[in-house]
A and B are shown apart, each in its own frame.
Chain A
């Protein structure tokens, strides 16, 4: 019954998760899939957790992904990667940037930022982590960290490299295209 591939993109408001889902969505349309993308705007944009669901296949019904249903979790921040873990399917993949952003309860001292999150994730899932910000800085701007992560994710889908490049050309402003192509390649080649 469930023939869709489910990708969950998680991060913190302002990290550029929306651009990532746009690039992914456009790549999937080009490949001829039925696609649904669901995100919640509003309160979550003010530095809160942001979650986007991307689903594709021959026919997609529900736009949302439930617990235990995601094939891939693409995370922009470690705590958010861990928070999303219950949504991962058994045997699913987590791709995460290693950035840590303190949430308000940590800032006020009401809670501690949990330690060893990557180890905890790796204990329950197939984990690919990357210093996306460092890689993006190397590519030319830390703003392209989201595209680095898209590059890592891209390699784990069955969408050809050329399609991604075409999509980047249409979604990224020409001024920033070179840096973003470089950032994408760094992600694509990340092991």
Chain B
């Protein structure tokens, strides 16, 4: 029977059916569910792990592949930056068992810090890249990727995007094909990439790209559908890939000819030339960068692309209908200006206490990526910078070195537990090694919150929920050479404030571990809710918390919405007039 499945689940299903045995990833929206779904398949069939970061994850997958198993690693676009080092060289070694790297781009930046186009990596690392357009293709392309990986002895990139990863369409599942472990053979020229061997392998890589380019001409991953119909007397052709193919079909129907590229690197030559030769006008419809367009232009083909389509954000069928057919957008209602609804930290979020204190102390806050990035949103508006995972720690050292110790004493880094494991530790070691006096606050909420609650090395549980050895953050910081490490509860705002002040004043590096679990964890059981009594003098201190449950009426009365409040009690301690009372249900 057909079932609705998001693209990510279909990729997981495809990998499972292709006999994958090892999957290692680090979470990242919109790619996370692939690995989560993998972990729902039997442990006897497939080993699945959350790795501390993408580089480690990719290396685990590469090792598994060399060890003879079909393997996979999944990441979001910026995760590919982190794993770039191993995969550029894995392109040289080739594979043992098939190896697929699923990477999900985020046009429109629904949940990302940039809008990079991962197709550039395929060309740069000289890796075969496939791009499915819906869940059905997610499944079939993933299976095809394993076959091609072994046929051409190459890791394969599977490019997804938010709309493909998170849209559900109908698929049909089939049984898993058991693929035996390949024999492990020591092969120094293939797997030891020192210059003498790598020189030989580079030749193999270029030959492989030539072979793949020839393959691109004939594979049924690339399809051409011609029509004799004309638009305004012209035969129009569109070149599409991924979800833009779906948009194009909806917008243009069968009035144009299609060249849909399922294989986006390497790109075919003759196929595109012949297609263009049969059309009077050709449009390349691709979100983000003009990768296919530039290829066509390099072939001397006269195509439209970014002259009529934007480089920025997601496309829509209406945009395509307008650009290609000159159709006006459908009529629609217009509305008055209204307040936006940006995401906020949940009611009861442990980070709220931390940022309340940091804001009160007027500190410069070198921020990082996670739920706590929302500490940059009003009214807390406490975070000064956010660049990439781990940068809170190392960039703060740079700031301190640039501006001196007095500045450093008014500067803190904030970094989540998962992000600290990912790439904060190395920055901390840099601080110790190079005699920084920075204060780093690890926001230990016992989970990877932002991406939807994944376990990590500090939580004591594996992806399958089994108990495992928990990384001891305090001991780890000590071992890095931080003598002053204190654990504090961010909801005990007075003590927490004193601890942060003490840490900042030191002439030595310091770590504060702000420990309180994420309010959404099943183990967290706040009860009741808070109410504001007649003692309230409308001073507005509690509003500074930015809790979604507390708001001010027009007459200045402060109210707590019982439906939204989860009874965390943070506001109770913040009110100077003790006007907020906890009511147990």
Contacts and interface: CB of A to CB of B under 8 A. Distances in A.
B3 interface: yes
A38 B166 contact: yes
Contact of A103 (B317, B342, B451): B342
A82 B338 contact: yes
B332 interface: yes
A41 interface: yes
A69 B339 CA distance: 24
Interface stretch (A109-117, A155-163, A173-181, A182-190): A109-117
Interface of A: 1-2, 12-13, 25-26, 29, 34-49, 60-64, 66-69, 79-80, 82-83, 85-90, 101-114, 120, 124-125, 142
Nearest to B245: A61
B343 A34 contact: no
A41 B36 CA distance: 14
Contacts of A107: 543, 546, 548, 550-552
24 contacts: A25-B168, A29-B170, A36-B168, A37-B169, A40-B162, A42-B30, A42-B110, A42-B451, A43-B343, A44-B111, A47-B548, A49-B341, A61-B250, A62-B246, A62-B316, A64-B247, A64-B317, A88-B333, A104-B546, A104-B548, A107-B543, A109-B552, A110-B339, A110-B378
Given A67-B330, A83-B338, A104 B344 contact: yes
Contact of B343 (A45, A67, A83): A45
Interface in B379-431: 379
Interface string B1-36: 011100000000000000000000000011000000
Interface of B: 2-4, 29-30, 110-111, 134, 162-163, 166-170, 243, 246-247, 249-251, 253, 314, 316-318, 329-336, 338-346, 371, 374, 377-379, 451-452, 543, 546, 548, 550-552, 554, 561, 563-564
Given A42-B451, A104-B344, 16 more contacts: A46-B374, A47-B343, A47-B548, A48-B344, A49-B341, A61-B247, A64-B247, A66-B330, A67-B330, A68-B329, A82-B338, A108-B378, A108-B546, A113-B339, A114-B336, A142-B563
Contacts, number: 184
A41 B111 contact: yes
Contact of B250 (A2, A89, A103): A2
B292 to A, nearest CB: 19
A90 B331 contact: yes
Given A62-B247, A113-B339, A106 B551 contact: yes
Contact of B170 (A35, A66, A89, A102): A35
B343 A44 contact: yes
A46 B371 contact: yes
Contacts of A64: 163, 167, 247, 314, 316-317
Nearest to A110: B378
A48 B110 contact: no
A86 B335 contact: yes
B459 to A, nearest CB: 20
Nearest to B162: A40
Nearest to B374: A46
Given A46-B371, A107-B548, A113-B339, A63 B134 contact: yes
A106 to B, nearest CB: 6
A124 to B, nearest CB: 4
A13 B340 CA distance: 14
Contacts of A88: 332-333
Contacts of A102: 548, 551, 561
A63 B316 contact: no
Contact of B329 (A36, A67, A90, A110): A67
Contacts of A90: 330-332
Contacts of B110: 40, 42-44
Contact of B334 (A86, A109, A111): A86
Q: Which of B162, B330, B563 has its CB near the most chain A CB atoms (within 10 A)? A: B330
Contacts of A87: 332
A107 to B, nearest CB: 4
A110 B379 CA distance: 10
B160 to A, nearest CB: 13
A41 B339 contact: no
Contacts of A34: 170
Contact of B330 (A12, A45, A89): A89
A9 B563 CA distance: 21
Nearest to A59: B249
Contacts of B162: 40
Given A103-B340, A114-B338, A68 B169 contact: no
A46 B333 CA distance: 28
Contacts of B247: 61-62, 64
Contacts of B317: 61-62, 64, 66
B343 A41 contact: no
Contacts of B316: 62, 64, 66
